[in-house]
């Protein structure tokens, strides 16, 4: 078992585990934060915690879920720390040529042809979405991002953020309401948030 080898202090096993999980964790963190600016530190913080706590992993949940929970806590600490700092503008969010470890990540959705005008508008929509998310409390932002952007069911989000499903639904609902209020004065964001847009 890979976990057992890691617990034995085998560095090759630790590298293997990191390489298997890194793409998925990075994608989730990216969807929460909207950029890779602090990704190195966040991944480092997450996986250092993973290896330090691996002895307490009892196999009651999937390893991936357990790691995701640690990553979400790291994201929460990061957002709480940077709450009063300048919000970074995400750069190069759309890179149609890129390919990542995760299927579909970094590539245009299948069947969509790259269109400069459309891409530009979409990119501006993404930028405004994350600027708006930056105004929300960290808990609400994370719950919303995990559900509406990362596509996780509410029950899974609740497990990741260690809250009840009711509380999680409320956070997501409040975040959505706040975004809609911001979008009311921002036609580009409003268009981006439309169900059929994109």
Partner 1 sequence: MMRLGHKIPVEPLDEQRYQRVEDAIVAAMPGSSPASAAAPGRTPGQRWFARLGGARWLVPAVVAAGVALALYAGLGGLDAGDPGQPLPTRIATGDGSSTFGLGDAVCTAAPHSDLTLDLSGDSAGRANIAWQLERGEITCEVEPRPERAAVVVRAGAVTVTVVGTVFTVGRGSGDSREVYVAVSRGQVRVDTAGRSFEVGTGQRWTESTMEVTSSDAEWAAAVGDRAAATRGPEAGAEAGADSDVDTDA
Residues 91-130 that bind partner 1 (CB under 8 A): 91-102, 105-109, 113-127, 129
If binding is defined by CB under 8 A, does position 66 make contact with partner 1? Answer: no
Half-sphere exposure of 8 (CA within 13 A, CB side): 8
Site string for partner 1, 150-179 (x = CB under 8 A): xx------------------------x--x
If binding is defined by CB under 8 A, does position 14 make contact with partner 1? Answer: yes
Give every CB contact of residue 13 below 8 A, 6+ residues apart in sequence: 2, 5, 6
If binding is defined by CB under 8 A, does position 64 make contact with partner 1? Answer: no
Name the CA dihedral angle for 139, 144, 145, 148, rounded to a multiple of 10 degrees: 170
Exactly one of 21, 31, 70, 189 binds partner 1 (CB under 8 A); that residue is: 31
Residue 41 CA to residue 31 CA, distance in Å, equals: 16
Kindly identify the residues of this chain, within the stretch 33-62, that bind partner 1 according to CB under 8 A.
34-41, 43-44, 47-48, 51-52
The H or E element spanning position 63 is helix 63-81
Min dist. Cβ of residue 100 to partner 1 (A): 3
């Amino acid at each position: 078992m890979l976990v057992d080898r890691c617990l034995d202090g085998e560095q090759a096993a630790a590298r293997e585990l990191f390489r298997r999980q890194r793409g998925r964790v990075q994608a989730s963190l990216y969807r929460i934060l909207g950029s890779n600016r602090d990704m190195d530190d966040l991944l480092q913080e997450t996986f250092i915690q993973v290896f330090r706590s691996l002895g307490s992993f009892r196999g009651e949940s999937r390893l991936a879920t357990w790691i995701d929970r640690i990553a979400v806590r790291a994201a929460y600490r990061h957002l709480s720390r940077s709450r009063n700092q300048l919000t970074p503008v995400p750069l190069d969010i759309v890179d149609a040529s890129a390919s990542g470890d995760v299927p579909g990540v970094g590539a245009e959705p299948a069947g969509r042809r790259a269109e400069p005008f459309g891409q530009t508008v979409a990119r501006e929509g993404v930028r405004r979405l994350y600027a708006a998310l930056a105004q929300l409390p960290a808990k609400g932002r994370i719950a919303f991002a995990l559900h509406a952007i990362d596509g996780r069911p509410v029950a899974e989000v609740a497990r990741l953020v260690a809250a009840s499903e009711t509380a999680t639904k409320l956070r997501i609902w409040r975040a959505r309401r706040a975004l809609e209020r911001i979008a009311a004065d921002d036609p580009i964001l409003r268009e981006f948030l439309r169900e059929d847009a994109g």
